[in-house]
Structure 1
Amino acid sequence: MGDRFTRFPLSEGVNLYVQPTTKFKTTTIYVYFHMPLEPVTVTYNALLPMVLARASADFPTTAELSRHLDELYGASFGVDVARRGEVQSIVFQMEVAGEKHVPGAQGLLPQALDVLGGIITRPLLVGDGFKPEYVDQERTNLRQMIEGLINDKRRYAMVRCTAAMCEGEAFALHRLGRVEDLEGVTPASLLAHHRRVLTEAPVDIFVLGDVDPAGLREEVARRLPLPAGPRRFPDTVVKRGPDRAVKDVVDRLDVNQGVVVIGFRTGITLRDELYFPMLVANGVLGGFSHSKLFQEVREKNSLAYFAYSSIETVKGIGYMYAGVEFADAERCKAIMLEQLRAVQEGAVSDAEMETTIATLVNDMLSAADSPGAMAELAVDQVFSGRDLSIDDRVALYRRVTREQVAEAARHFTPDTVYMLTRREGGA
């Protein structure tokens, strides 16, 4: 399967990855700036792309930028901020129609690269900083996003469990930053941070589409100019297990349903030999509706509205989580831990193994149909240093044995038990 990216170094710490393909009618570009996840910059990194996306020196109003994208046959642009391990990545994405699919169109990709390069490197400035109005508006938007985390109780419980489990570690920080930092961000200080990002952050650029790699390398280097300088990829501290007793944390809020989260350390990352067995172990444990947690906690014992598990593969941690009635929380927690022990002891049926591996393989094959999913796999490659095609990954999934699943699961060491429950005296 022709799904590998070819890497072209543009300068120190700046790399272009190109996957020529005729599968899609568009060309998609992703630009990642990787910064350390740190208290002093986490909120700046989250706010910066939101402000940059509003306008540029070339298109000084949001309306003008939007109108120009429409003129490029409906090109789309977006920004995001991601967290992998203790790396916070500022992400820019551009999608433009392939010229072969638009009769009479010429130079669409170079024009899209010009727009993208302008947004990133030629921001709209007023005086010694960004446009104050845009900073104020996006600061308000980011505040609402952070404060709105509590509206999704499952997500909020995961955030709170992570903060407790990784207290004192950078991973305790949320990718969107902290509300208390927002008032200290000024147009001038945000511009100073923008210059730091441009000069210090390692940059990975991914392009998928019907393109000529050699010509694209020249176009990207010219239209997305970045200052030369040393760019060191941020590290992530991985703990092989807890260094203390299991921590119990309870939050009491006005909620109608409880959430139990058991955070655990795996110590297994993208680089490790047990990586694919770990993913299968997670799938058997709680990754899918056929998994042990869902079947035992929800279906057989009717204790939870949802019951799943998930893995963070750069930091080497994971979670089991369930939505429960308050009175059922302790019993639910006990059954969740029983299911983990079952996987650790190799009590995994042939059907569980076969269904889990088949589901993971199907998900991987489906990734080939999505530019976004392919870019995510390519970012994994950057973090892991392992150049694996989809066929390689499928083969590695299919080689996983029951013994390897048990071995990987034995690394799943409970660290923090978090409970979101109602306030004292609640009905």
Structure 2
Amino acid sequence: MAPLIVRTISRYLLRQHVAPLGFALAALTSLMLIQQVAKQLSSLLGKGLPAAVIAEVFVLSLPFIVAVTLPMAVLVAVLHVFTRLASDNEITALQAGGVSVTRLVAPVLAGATGVALLSFLWNDQLLPRTNHQLRTLQVDIARKKPSLTPKEQVINEVVPGQSFLRASRIDGNTNKLKDVTLYDLSDAERRRIIRADSGRMAYSAGGRDLFLTLVDGDIEEVNRTDPVQFNRTFYRINRMRVSGVGNTFTQTGHDTYKSDREMSTCEMRQAARAAGRDADRAAADGRLVIENDLRRLVGLAPVAATPAPYVPDTAPPDPYCRALRRLGAWLLPREAEAQTPRSPPPTPPPPPLASSVSPLLVTPGAGSGEEQRVRDARTRAATYEVEIQKKYAIAAACLVFALVGVPVALRFQRGGVGLVIGMSVGV
């Protein structure tokens, strides 16, 4: 009978945490998402991007936000549940029935452990992929020129460094202009100032080019090679096309480069081992440079640099990486079996390049370049190790916050919502 009661209490405690956890996660994620929207929306709208692209930017930002707010939501849920249980004297009633506080905390810690595992998988598998897609999308957006939205009584840059437009009045509905001045600096040999009493502007499909129809004006032109030559032309109607005002948005199909925040734990471990091998090769090259300098000083022939042999990564993957490989092999379709090619096999890749150390070169700062290579390689390896530990630390924060939240809630039983908010903000 006792085990049944214990299981009932455990299920009751876990059910009590579901709603606060979901509410806290949704509220915290929404607040941080609103902050991202307020920070980036103006710059995205100013480039004339499609609504689907703007929505994609914020959707791809959600995994990073959830990675931060999930441990915070665990703390809020634990504080809320145990504060309410203590204020309603449910904790006292359970203790009177022979259920210890340790037994009450056990299912909460088990649930926090499950959330921590989910957080680690989220940060290790989903977050790097969305970070990679988000970075690629942001690079594509950065290449997109902002759409031209000229303002009245302001010199507007139409084409960066080439064309500038000023108008005293601009009708946004009809695109009519009054008192127009266009500064054309596109030709390095000539400078033109085009004035008009009125005009109208229109854009080509996609907004790449600007078409201007100017009425009743003149063109002043100065030749920079012959400053004394000045031309002034009057016109009734002048139709102009300004190219390169904007460009179409194109998304990169496949980007192979990945930063440390776009790699999983297994990929970063491989990259860290490769950086360690680079550091070892650089250290060996540095020793060879110093040895050859010393041999040169005593009149001995320098030692020839031998090509560094290719050392494959033979380190066995850890159990987590092996489990992921087996799961991927089970879920993903098998690769087709190799068939005998009809064409001759490709030529083998060239052997690894020899060390960059020249045995004939003697310099006062021998080995300084190799020392810098060693430092760079070790810095790369340390960067990957830091990112790996961050994934574990964020996941472990779910368990740590559960351990911290229970005693705080029991110590300040009548803290209520104020305790939950204050403790959450403080942490």
Relative to the length of structure 1, the TM-score reads 0.19
Pick the structure with more helix per residue: 2
Pick the structure with more strand per residue: 1
Relative to the length of structure 2, the TM-score reads 0.19
